[in-house]
Amino acid sequence: MYQVRTDLALEAREKFQDANVEVKGVKVTQDKPHGNMIVTKVSIETENGAKIMGKPRGNYITLEAPDMVDGDEDYHREISEELAKILRELIPMEKRELSVLVVGLGNREVTPDALGPRVVDNMMITRHIIRKFGKYAFGLTRNHQISSIVPGVMAQTGMETMEIIKGVLEETKPDYIIAVDALAARSTKRLSRTIQITDTGISPGSGVGNHRHAMNKESMGIPVIAIGIPTVVDAVTIVSDTMSNLVTAMEESKRLENIGESISYLEEAEKNELIRELLSPNLNTMFVTPKDIDESVKRLSYTISEGINMAFFPA
């Protein structure tokens, strides 16, 4: 059975909410820190919950900001501050100095996939300076060593991302990895408006069906915090949403209500399978991105890098 792809745990949870199904072992809490900003924490606490959700056990924190697509610098600073707060909750950094490797996943040459590399471009990198001039080089009482790498994609390097990063880990021996990557969403309303932060690591390319080895604590030997923003959506999703709107319109029409009712009886998975067959063979593997994705990725890369910088070097 065809499944619409999404990297967001929040959307996986909503699928069961829409069906009025309570998933045991999954806890959901919500907060509104600023204005229309919403922070939702999905905690998968049991193996049963992980199996049903199709995601590893751990915490998935989703920061939704509807105005994130706008260029309001003050609003983006609030987002960065909230991201920094979440990172400080996931990474205990108050009692010791940490060495952190920031990994910018993705392909710099493909705009919707360039988020990770562009975040790294804007990072405050300190490891080399501290190693040369000492821990008081920045005039702070506690200096975290931040290093970064953009491993590229297999088509560019001929190597798995895991192979490259493991080689770096052997030499630099960081305490944590922060991996930044572009994600795929189920809902178009979340494109460039949502940040997901998780302590479960990441599987590069999984959202678009291009599965690679997972980067997590088990495979890397150290905790992996993943940060991502959805920049693409499955073409099937757009057609499915359009079909739902069409069914609603048909049910409200006297002449077409019988057709609308017939289609509405189909379950979500059945509708997606029908759409996939109708789109095949030319469109069912397509992913769609907003027309202003160039500007969005540029702006959001600053927002994420600023949040990471604030987490380790608060003003």
Instruction: Using the CB atoms, write b or e for 44-80: b if 16+ within 10 Å.
Output: beeeebbebbebbbbbbbbbbbeebeeeeeebbebbb
> Cis (ω within 30 of 0) for the bond into 281?
yes
Q: How many Cβ atoms sit within 10 Å of the Cβ of residue 178?
A: 27
Distances (CA, A) of 276 to 51, 119, 138, 142, 219: 25, 35, 56, 54, 34
d(CA 228, CA 225): 10
Residue 225 in this model has a pLDDT that exceeds 80: yes
What's the first-to-final CA gap in the chain, in angstroms?
Answer: 51
Q: Say if CB 5 and CB 208 are below 8 A apart.
A: yes
Q: Say if CB 106 and CB 115 are below 8 A apart.
A: yes
| pLDDT band (50, 70, 90) for residue 1 | very low
- pLDDT tens digits, 34-61: 888 999 999 999 998 888 888 889 999 9
State the angle between helix axes of 268-279 and 235-252 in degrees (0 to 180), rounded to the nearest 10: 120
Q: Say if CB 98 and CB 147 are below 8 A apart.
A: no
Residue 65 in this model has a pLDDT that exceeds 90: yes
- pLDDT tens digits, 127-179: 999 888 887 777 766 789 999 999 998 888 999 888 999 999 999 999 999 99
Give the pLDDT confidence score for residue 69 in this predicted structure: 85
What is this structure's pTM? Answer: 0.84
H or E, element range at 184? strand 176-185
CA 306 to chain centre: 17
Helix/strand/coil for 213: coil
Instruction: Using the CB atoms, write b or e for 215-253: b if 16+ within 10 Å.
Output: bbbeebeebbbbbbbbbbbbbbbebbeebeeebeebeee
State mean pLDDT over 192-206: 85
Amino acid letter for position 224: V
Domains of the chain: 9-236+286-312 (3.40.50.1450)
- pLDDT tens digits, 259-268: 555 555 566 6
d(CA 90, CA 102): 15
Sign of the dihedral defined by the CA atoms of residues 185, 218, 39, 313, in that order: negative
Q: What angle (nearest 5°) sits at the alpha carbon of residue 201, between those of residues 145 and 76?
A: 65
pLDDT: which is higher, 284 or 277: 277
